[in-house]
Each structure stands twice: as C-alpha cells, then as structure tokens.
A and B are shown apart, each in its own frame.
Chain A
Amino acid sequence: MTGPGTDEIVVDRLTKQYKKLRAVDDLSFRVRSGRVTGFLGPNGAGKTTTLRMLLGLVTPTAGTATFGSQRYTELSDPVRKVGAVLEASSAHRGRTGRNHLRMICRASGLPDKRADEVLELVGLTPAAGRKFKGYSLGMKQRLGIAAAMLGDPQVLILDEPANGLDPEGIRWMRDLLKSLASNGRTVLVSSHLLGEMQLLADDVVIVAAGKLITQGPVDEVLGGMTGGVQVRVRTPQAEALTAALSELNASVTATQDGALLVHGAEAAAVGHAAFAAGVELHELATERGDLEQVFLQLTAGKAGIR
C-alpha cells in the first residue's frame, strides 16, 4: 500500500509549547482532497500556530504536520504544490501589488506573466500598479489569494480569509474555494466565524485550547449533536403522536407555538409513525441545527481567548 499523496494534509500528534502556554496540544487530523475543510476554533485556539507549523514557519515542539509524508520544507517545488494565505498584510507597504507577485515569481522560477493572470483571477487588475499601502483590507486579502494561486497549487491553505471582506467579497471567495475543491484540490480554511463555514465547508475540524474537539463531515458533526438535526411537526393530536414516537425511541419536546420538535428520528419515520397511528399532520419538516450552536456546546468551558 502506498502512503497518502502530497495533496493530503496529515497532522500527527502536533504540539507547540510556548514558554507558559501550550498553543497546540497533541493535535491529529487529516484533510482530504476534493473537499473544503473548515478549521474552526475560537480565538487563541491554536489555528494559526498549527498552520504555521504545517508551512514550516514555526518549529513544532513535538509531532509532525505534513503533505502526504513530506514536510513543507522538503517539498521540491513548494509554490507549485501548496498555496497559502496567512496574514493579509504580509507585503511591503511601498511595493505595488504586481511587483509583490513578480517578486514571488522570480524567487520560484515562474514567468512574470503569471502575476497578471492571478491578478485577473482575483479581480485586482485595476489596482495592480498601486502601492500596497493604499489597498483596503479586502484588496489585501485578494492579493494574498492571488499570491497563493501563482503556482496553480494542488493544496490551498487560508487563515481567516473572510476577515475584512465585505459580503460580496465573502460570496466571491466562497465560490472560488468551492470551485477549486470541486476540481480535486485540497482546501483548508481556518475561521472563528462559524456561520460562514456552514455554507462553505464539506468537512470540519474543530479545535479549542489547542486540542481537537471533533472532526468529520459537516452533516455528521451537526447530526450527531443535540441541537443538530431535528424534525418539526404540527398536529392536533399531540398526545397520540408522542406516544407513537416514543416507540421509535425518539424524544419529543413541545415548543411555545404548539409545534413538536422530534430528535432521534428522521422525517420519513415520523410521517410513517403518524400514518400508522392514524394521526393527522399539519406540518412535517427537517431542521438543521446550526454550526454556531454545536460549536458553543462542543467548546463550552474551553473557549474564550487565552
């Protein structure tokens, strides 16, 4: 059997100890290709530190973070394999956006014209000749994405890319990342904003206080939790339905407005039980719990800024 390819991110027992603080604590997870993976956690959870270790900028105290089995520093042509957007302001204030990209081209043996191509891709062509200090935060983020795309890499890593983007910019980035993933690329996006991830991510890795809380496909992480998937029903015969559903081991709670919320049974099962018991239904709907709620539950007591 061959090991994972360099398009799979493998974090294995990764630990970073700063003087007093364990920023990342025995963290293990994998990120697959062809999907957008959300790397979620409250501020100070250790997301940035993990990504910087993955990219060879920070040395781990223990453990490894690799692309397949190769460290970033061992990749023969890193710019063509991995693109990363870390902080929005990592360009020289006095240099133009185009020259910032050309500088990367020169250092990595890419032709200068790649700079203009990625500027076009991120919609920054009109500002290409302007100095970085005149860029808005959203333009800085776009330039960062442009830099990451220079080598047309198989793996993309973005640290809090939604910061500073307006709603239109966020939608643009969501579409871009989704299309990149659907082309078979690996996309890892960190965020402390959960609502956005729910629309973007296929998988999530949730961390708090440097430790892994849970990981898996968004549906599973949501569905496996109370406050996850639930079925809302309305009926004039609430007692009869509750009795029928209790045989399915589903729990039923009444809401203020007279509806019933069913946990532990799917809509089809609820509908069938009602039909079998001769209960009249006025409403039957599946509701998704939102990631925000799940996240708060999962990280309760561990969240907060460290």
Chain B
Amino acid sequence: MSLVNAELFKVRTTSLWWIMGIILVPLYAASVLANWAQASAGQPPSDAGVSDTQTAQIEAALQPINVATNLYTSGQYFGVLVVLLLSAIIVTSEFFHLTATTTFLTTPRRESVILAKFAAAAVIGVLVWLFTTVLNLLVVPLIMNNLDLGSQLGEAAVWRAIGLNLLAFVLWAILGVGAGVLIRSQIAATLILAITYVVGTSAIGLIFFLLSEYVAEWINNLQVLVPTTASQLMISGTDLPGSPPRWVGAVVMIGYAVVLGFFGTWLTKRRDIS
C-alpha cells in the first residue's frame, strides 16, 4: 500500500498531471458538444445510399437509451487517451529521468514496484472517470431535456454504461503501464500509443475491411481483437446489430491487460538497470 502511495506521490510532485488536466478539460467539453450534435442531427434520409446494417445501427443509436448512454460516457475517448499516456509515462519516466536506480534501490523487489504502478495507474483511471462522470451527471440531464428525451437516469442500462466506462478507464490504465514497460523510451511509447489510439481504429478498420472483402469474410470478426474496437464494443450501451456480444470486448480487454501485466513484470525483473 505504501508503494502505491509512493507512486501516486511521484505523479503529484511533477507538473505532468496538471498539464494533462489542462489538455483534458477542453477536449472533454468538445466531446459533450459533439455527442449532443450527433444526437440532435437525427436520421439520414432513406435514399442516402447507406447499407441496411448501417441504417439499423444508426436507428439503434438514436433510441433515447442509446443517446443517453453515449452522452453519459462523454469524455471517454480523450479521458482514456490521457489515462493511457499518463500510465505509460509512470513507467517510462523512471528511465527517462534515470530515477529507476533510486526506485529499485528503495524497493529491490521489482515486481512490487510494477504492481504498485499498475495500481497507481488504475487509481488515476478511476479519478479521471470520476471527473468526467460527475461533470456528465451535472450537464447531460440538461442536454437530454433539451432533446426532449428525459434524463433517462432511471434506466439500468445508463448506469451499466457508466460502470463499464469505469472498467474501460481501469483496463486502459493497466494496458498503458504494460506498454510503458515494453516500450521503455518515453518518446516512442507516448507517440506509438497516441497514434495507435487515435488513428489506429480507423487505419486497422480499413485493413480489416480490405482483408474481409478480398480474402475472407470471417476475418472481419477478428476486428474485436483491436483494443480500441474491443473497448468500444465493451462500453456501447446496448448490443448494436452486426456486432459480437459486448462481453467479448470485455474479455479481449482484460486479456490484453493480463498478458501485458505479466509480461511487463517478467521483463522488468530480468532487465539490468544501468
């Protein structure tokens, strides 16, 4: 426990956390506005040339309950990105600033240090989730009333989406620490993670689209193995048509977190610190 405390102390005593906070606030606001705009835009005309599945998806997404889950989890996209980067930096900064020597002299059992970093990252994930969720609970009911949909806060599905949103924040935090251990260079780790996270889904989505078009249709089902897709699937409020069940996304995310966690710990234990 004192080790988790020490890891959180390390984050608190450098300027990184408030820089990330300052970046997050406008991005959060933009996300709320974007979700609002999407909900109020309504359905495309039936001759817009979209496929049946897509029409079905859009229809489903516009149901009040789905609008609600979407809005009440606003800020997830950028919040998770910030948590992911902070989590990776918790590890990489030890090497970037040469503090690993001090850290492992203080706590020579390295698995304890890495476990503490996982826990500290999870705590940061929870805090950012709490921050966005509290703001959402204040702001979104007003938007829902504006859309004439009611607050929807009586719906179990909304609270389930908020809970799954928390799970996403925590799992991405753990993923970030694991990635930081694997990619020890601070610059490489933050760049690779940010790029994969931001353009990854669409770029990999395109690759999967081409593979399923020209190689085999079933390959498309593997898309859920992409962490960003899995996460999206896991937190989407209801099962949308044409997607694998939601729990598959959760299983994939937990799988990544566990594998990266164990591999990262193993790697840290055997590496020389010099």
Contacts and interface: CB of A to CB of B under 8 A. Distances in A.
Interface of A: 48-49, 52, 55-59, 72-73, 75, 78-79, 84, 86-87, 89-96, 99-100, 102-104, 106-109, 147
B273 A92 contact: no
B97 A92 contact: yes
A73 B108 contact: yes
Contacts, number: 84
A107 B109 contact: no
Given A59-B272, A99-B13, A106-B2, A87 B105 contact: no
Contacts of A109: 2
A296 to B, nearest CB: 28
Contacts of A106: 2, 5-6, 9
Contacts of A73: 108-109
Given A90-B99, A109-B2, A56 B270 contact: no
A90 B6 contact: no
A57 B105 contact: yes
A57 B3 contact: no
B93 interface: yes
B9 A58 contact: no
Nearest to A109: B2
A58 to B, nearest CB: 4
Contacts of B270: 59
B102 A52 contact: no
Interface string B82-109: 0000000000010001111111111111
A166 to B, nearest CB: 23
B272 A103 contact: no
A106 B272 CA distance: 25
Given A78-B108, A103-B6, A52 B97 contact: no
B2 A107 contact: yes
A55 B273 CA distance: 10
A108 B98 contact: no
Given A59-B272, A90-B99, A91-B99, A78 B9 contact: no
Contacts of A78: 105-106, 108
B97 A56 contact: no
Contacts of B102: 90-91, 100, 104, 147
A96 B100 CA distance: 17
Name the residue in A79, A86, A90, A108 with the highest tally of chain B Cβ atoms < 10 Å from its Cβ: A90
Nearest to A108: B106
Interface of B: 2-3, 5-6, 9-10, 13-16, 93, 97-109, 270, 272-274
A108 B104 CA distance: 11
A57 B272 contact: yes
Pairs A-B, 6 closest by C-beta atoms:
A107-B6, A106-B6, A99-B13, A57-B273, A73-B108, A58-B272
A87 B9 CA distance: 23
B13 A95 contact: yes
A73 B103 CA distance: 13
Contact of B93 (A72, A92, A104): A92
Given A89-B98, A94-B14, A55 B3 contact: no
B170 to A, nearest CB: 23
B4 to A, nearest CB: 10
Contacts of B10: 92, 95, 103
Contacts of B2: 106-109
B6 A86 contact: no
A109 B1 CA distance: 10
Nearest to A132: B97
Contacts of A94: 14-16
Contacts of B104: 56-57
B108 A72 contact: yes
Contacts of B13: 92, 95-96, 99, 102-103
Nearest to B270: A59
Nearest to A88: B98
Contacts of B105: 55, 57, 78-79, 84, 86
Given A58-B272, A78-B105, A102-B13, 10 more contacts: A57-B105, A57-B274, A59-B270, A59-B272, A73-B109, A87-B98, A90-B100, A90-B102, A91-B102, A92-B97
A99 B102 CA distance: 13
A108 B103 CA distance: 10
A56 B108 contact: yes
A258 to B, nearest CB: 55
Given A57-B101, A87-B101, A104 B106 contact: yes
A102 B8 CA distance: 12
Contact of B106 (A52, A93, A96, A107): A107
Nearest to A105: B6
Contacts of B16: 94
A153 to B, nearest CB: 11
A95 B272 contact: no
Contacts of A108: 2, 106-107
A137 to B, nearest CB: 14
A92 B274 contact: no
A103 B273 contact: no
B37 to A, nearest CB: 39
